[in-house]
Amino acid sequence: MTNQQRYDPLNDYLFYKVMGEKGDEIQLLGFINAVLGKTGDDRFTAVEIIEDKSFSPKVIGDKASTLDVRAVLQSRTRVNIEVQIRNQNNMDRRSLFYWSKEYSESLKAGQDYRELPDVIAINIVNFDFPPVRNFHTRFQLREEYDRDLVLTGALEIHFINMVQYRKQRKKKILDNPLCRWLAWLDASSPPGLIAEVVKMDTAIETANERMVYVTGDKEAIRTYERRLMGLSDYNSSMNYAREEGHRQGHEEGRSEERQRLLEMLEQGLPVEEIKRRLKQ
């Protein structure tokens, strides 16, 4: 039995533990090169991981906390990788915000703007975004009428749409490095497919070994489960908010209560606490 049958590599905590800590450079570099389509002599060969996460119970349980992977390539290009399981209908602006934060914070006081690095944002989403058939989309700053004219290479944002990937998985061939990675990252992949891509790719094999090591630690599994519970609590709150909002939408004079509901949801309060406060 493979480890991927038991644990989801797209759980952002596990993804960070496998790809975003010191010592994870081999698999992270392999994944980045696969996303960027770098092969042969064109591949990036070195990466420095920016390790800046603390896994306190508060952080793990907070729906708003971001467990992104941050790194710097040998070209000084900075990379930010985020996994998003739930659709909050803000992924376009959210990604641009995190890209801009990485970009602007790279410039120290007194430095020339020309020293700002290129920043690549990679978003792995487990919902259907953007609304196109391609499972991999790439955005840059281009001139509207002359599509070959790029304003600057400083901005590059990628989306990996796992929903579209699964729809097309049978059509994809394993000599595509990105497809191999997505097969490994997809918890629904057949065990035989996972075993095949692990054999084909040294970086994926290293990631798989790291996953086995991490999930062999009881404390790591408890943290993984707390992260899942945080997601479940958030989904419950969202479902309750939608149902309550629909009910209140048919009543008059309830705008103040609807506003209270939205504020409590934004605060990330558990559904039971929201119910209790609305009854007061």
User: 55 or 173: which carries more pLDDT confidence?
Assistant: 173
How many domains is the chain partitioned into structurally? Answer: 2
pLDDT above 90: residue 181? yes
194 and 119 in a common domain: yes
Mean pLDDT of all residues in 239-267: 58
The answer to pTM > 0.85 is: no
253 and 184 in a common domain: no
Residue 85: the pLDDT is: 86
Give exposure, 236-256, as e/b (b: 16+ Cβ within 10 Å): ebeebbeebeeebeeeeebee
Mean pLDDT of all residues in 164-175: 85
pLDDT above 60: residue 56? no
The domain boundary, picked from 216, 241, 266, lies at 216
Range of the domain at 247: 229-279
The domain boundary, picked from 195, 216, 237, lies at 216
Phi, psi values for residue 132, rounded to 5°: -135, 170
Model confidence at 144, in pLDDT bands (50, 70, 90)? very high
190 and 130 in a common domain: yes
Mean pLDDT of all residues in 180-207: 95
Task: Examine residue 222 and state whether it is found in any structural domain, yes or no.
Answer: no
Location of structure tokens 């993804």:
15
155 and 255 in a common domain: no
Task: Examine residue 143 and state whether it is found in any structural domain, yes or no.
Answer: yes
Mean pLDDT of all residues in 4-24: 87
Mean pLDDT of all residues in 122-143: 95
Phi, psi values for residue 74, rounded to 5°: -65, -15
